[in-house]
């Protein structure tokens, strides 16, 4: 829409307002509503004097009391939006500012008794970072925060991260500002959410404030209902700025998540209790409540447990005495919780494709593809029910069937399993350590050494490792104890790079007020997509230790190109072109310093590593993020 | 790795012949003489990307240090091995051992690389003598 047609319609453009208010001084009030519009300059741009306000009128007739403090907006719609977020206990809104949501932004930072808390406005330097932060937070806490995104262009920046979150089953509510009246047409689309619709679960474009409040609640509900995923609400700037009057916030109804039936719970409970050697396989549940209940079930039944805690969040504690094959690995009843099991397994609902559709196809547009295309296709004995929501039923069913003799059996089995699992763990660890010591004194530094040196330092701390570790050897799997729902997040869900730093920053947001620290083992290629999160961590004082896995390359691609030169029989010494980060090398300690983060390095001497890591941990414990550049072996 | 490349790698092993068997005895066999220049080999090992999968010091995805590889038995076997994969044409990217054609890596340069690899020694301290590893083990044992 051009400036001219705005004026023809009687609107006041943003720029005209800024200009006229500068001319008229601070007292100028933006006229509102049809009456005010009728007063606006018809075409020539000459300001027309405004009618007296009620206050001025009162003074005119002799009421000389000083005017009450005047607020143009009495109860802005965006205050109610913030109240909805607060009621939903959304801790953070990660955002890069945009002029389609200054109304909402102003409410976040100013509304309420304690403004800018629940939610707190978190400054992201890139929309992709904002969404990665929401992803990292969701993986550690199992619940959403918001990303607040500038319409159209910001959403395009955000889109790859949203795609990754969709694959990662990460619940988040993405609020997108939209302004089609007073702003650039290029930032506005009729269907703003269209650009991400193929990889979001639900979206809405409410037309009124009341609809907007309901839409945000629904977006939240949809995001946390399995399969969890990102949802989108488009918020028109008018809706944010509208006077709310006496509009009340509609009540929020939590989702009803499908569980097994009481009869099924009874059947599984009797299976577990009748078995001589029951076993439970645990995958990824939704929230920290899932693993907690799984521990209760395992302890009640004395079942040995397989965990996925080294590969994904929200699984069973890795060093729980029941974790492992147990005293006897011939299990006669196996229960799967979000994983396939032999006798029964509870796998939450999944978005499905239409029949006959190619599961490997991406097919953007039209129908949303499944959240996880090729995994967790229910098997014969699978109950399509959410394991976490079903666990309380199962625990109760087991408790009801418990008697003295069963309790005795369980307690004996628990002791036997505990001893066997502990012994097996030590044997496996001894074997692993023999491998880890290889190249111990090498320079550049071995990746195993980074994880090994860190292990005793974080042993008694509450830590979270959000970064994908597939490129750095996954040495934490054997060396660190993954006992928390948020210990490790697994890989990049869509194998999309630029994820580690943002996800770690989001996890560090969750960690900040929970006395937890985040360890980010950061590959160099990955950092360079969105390094701005370093500033976010410094600015918000996030407890994040970043240890560079600096192999000065997109090393995976180097290996592929090297192989290809072999296939083609030429230029074997040229594979570094376009695959390495040399000439010049990037100085990550300086990069961090530039963003205001404490740092050191590059470290090449393996004997200097431990002291640097210790300094880093100390700093992070004091709420100061820290980066250590380590020149490493490639893999 | 695809099934196809696995299959081809097996063929490569057969081309390398008796070496396959020697690989299993490794260090006990007397290795052949070194004729190349290890110093030159050091740069070539880097330029030709060997470090990418075998580590800068022969410890990596596939270890070469400490004479653990039967392929390193002598220069001839080593050269045969480097050239033995030319007919592999995978459809998918792979991180397996690439073919190194003579047209792009000469016999001489390959022998220099051979000489350099033969110098690789990795003698890390025992687990018990590495404080971090010992601490990890102690913690698990006292659990
Ligand atoms: C967004 C995105 N762009 C490109 C790729 C292709 N890619 C896969 S691995 C890789 C290199 C990663 O480099 P780095 O993070 O330093 O890890 P390294 O391989 O060096 O261990 C690239 C570019 C990708 N997966 N995602
Ligand atoms: Mg790299």
Determine the average pLDDT of the residues in A462-489.
Answer: 98
CB contact under 8 A, B60 and A441: no
Q: CA-CA distance, B77 to B82, in Å (whole number)?
A: 9
Q: Which CATH number fits domain A6-30+70-241: 3.40.50.20, 3.40.50.450, 3.40.50.970, 3.30.590.10?
A: 3.40.50.970
Among the partner residues B63, B99, B140, nearest to A567 by beta-carbon distance: B99
Q: Place A66 in a pLDDT band, splitting at 50, 70 and 90.
A: low
A121 by DSSP, 3-state: which?
strand
Interface check for B86 against chain A (CB to CB < 8 A): the answer is yes
Asked whether the beta carbons of A505 and A136 are under 8 A apart, the reply is: yes
Ligand 1 centre and the CA of A548: distance in Å?
15
The CATH architecture annotation of domain B34-142 reads: Orthogonal Bundle (1.10)
CA–centroid distance, residue A598 to ligand 2 (Å): 22
Number of the ligand 1 atom closest to the C-alpha atom of A498: 1
Inspect the interface and report whether the beta carbons of A426 and B93 lie closer than 8 Å.
no
Please tell me the CATH superfamily of domain A262-355+376-427, with its number.
TPP-binding domain (3.40.50.1220)
Residue A257, min C-alpha distance to chain B (Å): 38
* A505, pLDDT greater than 90: yes
Cα(A497) to ligand 1 centroid in Å equals: 6
Each domain of chain A, given as residue ranges in start order, spans 6-30+70-241, 262-355+376-427, 437-631
Pairwise CB contact (< 8 Å): B125 & A437: yes
Mean pLDDT (chain A) is 88
Is the pLDDT reported for residue A452 higher than 80?
Answer: yes
Q: What is the pLDDT of residue A56?
A: 59
- Nearest residue CA, atom 3 of ligand 1? A497
**SS3 assignment, position A569:** coil
Place A21 in a pLDDT band, splitting at 50, 70 and 90: very low
Half-sphere exposure (Cβ direction) of A84: Cα atoms closer than 13 Å: 30
Query: In this predicted structure, which of A184-198, A407-421, A565-579 has the lowest mean pLDDT?
Result: A184-198
Closest CB to A566: pick one of B55, B100, B125: B100
- Using the 8-state DSSP alphabet, how is residue A367 labeled? S
- The domain covering A437-631 belongs, at the CATH homologous superfamily level, to Thiamin diphosphate (ThDP)-binding fold, Pyr/PP domains (3.40.50.970)
pLDDT of residue A350: 62
Nearest CA in chain B to A634: B52
Preceding omega of A213 cis (within 30 degrees of 0): no
pLDDT given for residue A72 in this prediction:
81
Q: Which among A429, A437, A571 has CB closest to B124?
A: A437
Chain A interface disruption, residue of B127, B137, B140, most A CBs within 10 A: B140
- In chain B, which residues have their Cβ closer than 8 Å to the Cβ of A566? 85-86, 88, 98-101
Q: Which of A201, A295, A258, A297 is nearest to A382 (CA)?
A: A258
Average of pLDDT values for B67-86? 94
CB pair distance less than 8 Å for B49 and A562: yes
Compute the distance between CA of residue B12 and CA of residue B5 in angstroms, rounded to an integer: 10
> What does the angle CA A609 – CA A611 – CA A617 come to, to the nearest 5 degrees?
100
Instruction: Give the residue-averaged pLDDT of A545-572.
Output: 96
Beta carbons within 8 Å of B13's beta carbon, 6+ residues apart = B19, B20
Residues with CB under 6 Å of ligand 1 are: A 471, 495-498, 523-526, 551, 553-557
Write out the DSSP string of B58-115: S-SSS--GGG--GGGGSHHHHHHHHHTTTT---SS---SPPP--TTTS-HHHHHHHHH
Express each pLDDT in A285-329 by its tens digit. Answer: 999 999 999 999 999 999 999 999 999 999 999 999 999 999 999
A15-19, A42-46, A293-297, B138-142: which range is least confident on average? A15-19
pLDDT band, very low/low/confident/very high, at B88 (cuts 50, 70, 90)? confident
pLDDT band at A3 (very low <50, low <70, confident <90, very high): very low
Measured in angstroms, how far is the CA atom of residue A556 from the centroid of ligand 2?
Answer: 8
Q: Which chain A residue lies closest to B61 (C-alpha atoms)?
A: A635
Give me the residues paired with residue A236 across strands.
A178
**Beta-bridge mates of residue A203:** A232
Q: Which protein residue has the closest C-alpha to ligand 1 atom 12?
A: A554
For chain B, the average pLDDT equals 85
Gap between the Cα atoms of A225 and A222, Å rounded: 5
Report chain A residues whose CB lies below 8 A from the CB of B88.
Answer: 566-567
Q: What is the CA(A555)–ligand 2 centre distance, in A?
A: 5
Percentage of chain A lying above the pLDDT 70 cut: 84
B122 touching A, CB under 8 A? yes
- Residue A73 in this model has a pLDDT that exceeds 90: no
Interface check B90 vs A, CB under 8 A: yes
What is the reported pLDDT for A54?
Answer: 67
* Coil vs helix vs strand at A388: helix
Q: Which of B61, B88, B104 sits opposite A571 (nearest CB)?
A: B104
Q: Does the reported pTM lie above 0.80? A: yes
User: 3-state class of A182 per DSSP?
Assistant: coil
Ligand nearest to the CA of A551: 2
Asked whether the beta carbons of A530 and A506 are under 8 A apart, the reply is no
Q: How many CB atoms lie within 10 A of CB B73?
A: 22
Mutate to test the pocket of ligand 1, among A131, A158, A556, A586 (most ligand atoms within 8 A of CB): A556
Partner-chain contact B86 A569, CB within 8 Å: yes
pLDDT confidence bin for B30, thresholds 50/70/90: confident
pLDDT tens by residue, A322-380: 999 999 999 999 999 998 778 888 877 765 444 444 444 444 444 455 555 444 455 66
- Closest-CA residue in chain A for B56? A633
pLDDT in tens, A80-139: 999 999 999 999 999 999 999 999 999 999 999 999 999 999 999 999 999 999 999 999
Shortest CA gap B22–chain A (Å): 23
Nearest CA in chain B to A457: B132
Contact A501, A492 (CB under 8 A): no
Q: ipTM more than 0.90? A: no
**Burial of A460 by CB count in 10 Å (0-12 exposed, 13-18 middle, 19+ buried)?**
exposed
């Amino acid at each position: 829409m051009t400036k001219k047609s705005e004026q023809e319609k009687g609107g006041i453009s943003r720029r005209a307002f800024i200009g006229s208010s500068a001319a008229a001084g601070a007292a100028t009030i933006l006229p509102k509503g049809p009456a005010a519009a009728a007063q606006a300059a018809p075409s020539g741009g000459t300001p027309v004097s405004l009618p007296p306000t009620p206050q001025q009128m009162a003074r005119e007739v002799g009421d000389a009391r000083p005017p009450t403090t005047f607020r143009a907006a009495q109860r802005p719609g965006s205050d109610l939006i913030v109240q909805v977020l607060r009621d939903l206990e959304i801790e953070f809104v990660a955002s890069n500012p945009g002029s389609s949501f200054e109304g909402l932004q102003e409410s976040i930072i100013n509304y309420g008794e304690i403004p800018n808390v629940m939610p707190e406005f978190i400054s992201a330097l890139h929309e992709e970072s904002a969404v990665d932060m929401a992803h990292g937070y969701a993986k550690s806490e199992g619940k959403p925060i918001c990303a607040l995104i500038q319409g159209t262009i910001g959403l395009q920046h955000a889109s790859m991260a949203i795609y990754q979150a969709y694959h990662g089953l990460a619940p988040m509510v993405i609020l997108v500002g939209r302004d089609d009246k007073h702003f650039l047409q290029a930032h506005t689309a009729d269907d703003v959410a269209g650009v991400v619709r193929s990889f979001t679960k639900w979206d809405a474009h409410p037309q009124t404030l009341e609809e907007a409040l309901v839409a945000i609640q629904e977006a939240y509900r949809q995001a946390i209902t399995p399969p969890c995923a990102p949802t989108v609400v488009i918020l028109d700037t008018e809706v944010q700025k509208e006077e709310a009057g006496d509009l009340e916030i509609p009540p929020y109804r939590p989702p009803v998540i499908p569980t097994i039936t009481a009869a099924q719970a009874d059947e599984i409970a009797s299976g577990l209790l009748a078995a001589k050697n029951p076993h439970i396989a645990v995958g990824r549940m939704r929230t920290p409540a899932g693993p907690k209940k799984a521990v209760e079930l395992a302890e009640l039944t004395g079942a040995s447990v397989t965990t996925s805690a080294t590969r994904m969040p929200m699984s069973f504690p890795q060093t729980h005495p029941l974790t492992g094959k147990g005293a006897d690995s011939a299990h006669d009843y196996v229960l799967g919780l979000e994983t396939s099991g032999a006798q029964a397994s509870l796998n939450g609902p999944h978005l499905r494709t239409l029949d006959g559709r190619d599961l490997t196809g991406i097919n953007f547009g039209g129908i949303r593809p499944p959240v996880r295309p090729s995994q967790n296709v229910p098997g014969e004995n699978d109950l399509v029910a959410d394991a976490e929501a079903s666990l309380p039923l199962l625990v109760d069913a087991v408790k009801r069937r418990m008697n003295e003799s069963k309790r005795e059996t369980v307690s004996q089995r628990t002791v036997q399993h505990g001893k066997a699992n502990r012994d097996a763990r030590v044997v496996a660890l001894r074997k692993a350590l023999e491998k880890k010591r290889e190249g111990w004194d090498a320079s550049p530094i071995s990746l195993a050494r980074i994880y090994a040196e860190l292990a005793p330092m974080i042993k008694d701390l509450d830590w979270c490792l959000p970064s994908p570790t597939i490129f750095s050897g996954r040495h934490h799997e054997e060396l660190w104890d993954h006992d928390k729902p948020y210990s490790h997040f697994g890989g990049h869900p869509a194998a999309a790079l630029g994820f580690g730093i943002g996800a770690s920053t989001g996890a560090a947001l969750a960690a900040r007020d929970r006395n937890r620290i985040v360890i980010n083992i950061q590959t160099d290629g990955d950092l360079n997509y969105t390094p701005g999160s370093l500033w976010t961590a410094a600015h918000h004082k996030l407890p994040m230790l970043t240890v560079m896995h600096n192999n000065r390359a997109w090393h995976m691609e180097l290996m592929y190109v090297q192989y290809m030169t072999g296939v083609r029989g030429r230029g074997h010494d040229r594979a570094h072109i376009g695959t390495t980060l040399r000439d010049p090398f990037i100085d990550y300690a300086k990069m961090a310093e530039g963003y205001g983060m404490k740092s050191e390095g590059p470290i090449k001497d393996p004997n200097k590593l431990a002291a640097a890591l210790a300094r880093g941990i100390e700093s992070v414990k004091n709420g100061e993020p820290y980066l250590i550049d380590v020149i490493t072996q490639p893999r | 790795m695809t099934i196809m490349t696995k299959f081809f790698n097996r063929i490569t092993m057969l081309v390398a012949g008796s070496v396959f068997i020697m690989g299993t005895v490794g260090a006990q066999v007397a290795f052949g003489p070194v004729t190349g220049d290890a110093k030159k080999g050091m740069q070539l090992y880097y330029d030709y990307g060997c470090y990418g999968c075998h580590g800068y010091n022969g410890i990596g995805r596939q270890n070469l240090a400490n004479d653990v590889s039967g392929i390193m038995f002598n220069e001839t076997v080593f050269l045969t091995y480097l050239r033995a994969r030319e007919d592999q044409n995978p459809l998918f990217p792979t991180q397996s051992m690439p073919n190194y054609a003579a047209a792009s890596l000469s016999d001489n340069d390959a022998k220099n690389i051979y000489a350099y690899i033969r110098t690789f020694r990795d003698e890390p301290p025992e687990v018990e003598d590495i404080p971090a590893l010992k601490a990890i083990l102690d913690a698990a044992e006292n659990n």
